[in-house]
Every structure is written in structure tokens, then in C-alpha cells.
Amino acid sequence: MKAVVSVLLIILVMVLPAKGQLKAGFYSSSCPKAEATVRSTVESYYNKDPTIAAGLLRLHFHDCFVQGCDGSVLIKGASSEGNALPNQGLKGFEVIDDAKAQVEALCPGVVSCADILALAARDSVDLSDGPSWSVPTGRRDGRVSLSSQASNLPSPLDSVAVQRQKFAAKGLDDHDLVTLVGGHTIGETHCQFIRYRLYNFTATGNSDPTINQAFLAQLQALCPMNGDGTKPVALDRGSQTKFDVSFFKNVKDGNAVLESDQRLWGDDATRKIMQNYAGNIRGLLGFRFDFEFPKAMIKMGSIEVKIGTQGEIRKVCSKFN
């Protein structure tokens, strides 16, 4: 099945030019071992800690939503993007730094940090038993990284209307929204971000009524009212490290961990898309999500990209040249 999906996606990439003239195999002559080097680096970290896959996928998503996919989230500094509140808890920086150092040793000044991050996100999904796809490359690294510009990142507190508006501002529709949220199949959050749903949802001391009662008891046991706020909570109950459609089934059953995810079931348009992914025919539905997720990733990966002579190719991903 994965082989069939991969072949279809390679054909898809050939017929769908990414916006801004990115192209699959951009480094095939200038740095032919770039993609394999990124892959082996991601794999070595994944083998030690499978949750790094979700970290890298989220890092790419957060990068693309602020200033476009330009590696701006990777910059270290007091006022840089990575220090913005929505970016607290991002992880995987060391994987990108490591891959960049190895690629620089092979081909100095050729491969951008933005592309390394996009490739690492794809490899993370593939290593987690999800689909693989040809990543259009050729992004350049941005020269601006400001925490003040990260305020419009999607938040777990967002209503469907706000989620829709934030995605539409980046050229992404309802279908892209639901499909990309499906990346939560390998995600995690922390108790401090969901405690309000468990104990004080309406400021009257109640829990969120959309949470399945049996699941509520599990979450409360995992995240006591005055317990450790940094304790991790898997976003896909029972299937945290496997990229699959059980996330959508969990949302359908009231077992979503994040309020924003559960809200998508309450809206007619987004629920229809979720139902398609969460249907009952195992083979068909897994295949459908495996085909749609790469398409949405390719679309997201071309948001406001810098190409040609724009931006730069950083020597080190955490600082401007």
C-alpha cells in the first residue's frame, strides 16, 4: 500500500508545480547526497526517541505559519520567533542543526535550513509508518525572526471560525485544515495546556462536556489539578507513535485531548472531512489519509517561500550569516 501511495505521489509532484517554483530534486546535481543525509540524521534521533518525529513535524508547521517556510523559527535570540509563547515547547532543533552540519561538510553554502526542516518533517512521517512523498525544494532562508510576528499561530483554544481564518490567511482551506490537524496522530501536549478543560472549563469548576466521560477520568488521573504541568500527554490515545487515522476516530468518540481538535467535530463542514478519514473501511480510509496528507503538506510547505536570490543560505541554522 505504501509503495502504491508513493508512486501516486511522485506522479502528483510532477504534475503539480509548487507555488514559488520549488521543485522536487532541486539539489540532485548541486548536493546529491543532501536528502539521504537528512534522512539518516532524522532516523538516528528517531531510533533513540520516536516522539522526535512529532517535534520535527510541528517545527516545520510553526515555521511555515510565520513569515512562510523560511527557517525563521530556528533562529536563536531574545526576541526571535522561537521565544514567542506559542513556540514554547518546540523541539527537534538539535536534529536540524546536526543534519545541517553534515550537509555543510558535503556541500558548503548550498542547502537551506528551511529545506532541511521540510525534508525532516517528511522523513518523520515516513518513519512513523505514515506516507512518504517527494518534497519540492529550493527554499531560501529568511533574514527576519521576531517573536512579535508569531501571535497568529493556531492555538488549542481557537474556535473553528478562528482556525479557519488563520489557515485561510495562508491560502489553506477546510480540507487542508482538517488534514494537517491529522498530524496530531503522532503529537503530544502537556498537562498545563489541557488542565482547564478538565477542571475549570466554564470558570465554574466544570469539565468540558464534549470530553467522553471515561476518557475524562483517564486525563484527570494523568493530569491532577495541582500536578506537574510539564507532564506529556499523547494527542492520539492508544497510538501515539504510529501515523494513522485513529486520531480521527478518537475525535469522533469525544476522545480529543485539545479543545481545538474536538471543536472540528462540532462544525458541519469540518466534521464531514473528519468522517471521511474516520470511516469504517480500514483499507480505504487509511489510504485516503495517506494520499491527502502529503498533498496538504506540499501546499503548506510552499507558503510564502523565498526563492532565487531572496534571503540567504545560512551556514548555521540558529543564526543569520
**What's the grid cell of residue 54?**
512529532
Residue matched to cell numbers 542543526: 97
Distance of CA 141 to the CA centre of its chain: 19
Residue 70 buriedness (CB in 10 A; 0-12 / 13-18 / 19+) = buried
**What's the grid cell of residue 311?**
534571503
Helix H or strand E segment including 221: helix 213-222
3-state secondary structure of 232: strand
Which of 16, 10, 14 is closest to 299 using CA atoms? 16
Strand partners, 319: 316
Q: Which of 62, 175, 184, 190 is catalytic?
A: 62
Let me know if 184 is a catalytic residue: no
**What's the grid cell of residue 96?**
536540524
Relative orientation angle of helices 113-127 and 52-64, to the nearest 10 degrees? 140
Q: Are 124 and 52 in contact (CB under 8 A)?
A: yes
Assign 3-state DSSP to the chain and report helix, strand, coil percentages, each to 5: 55, 5, 45
Active site residues: 62
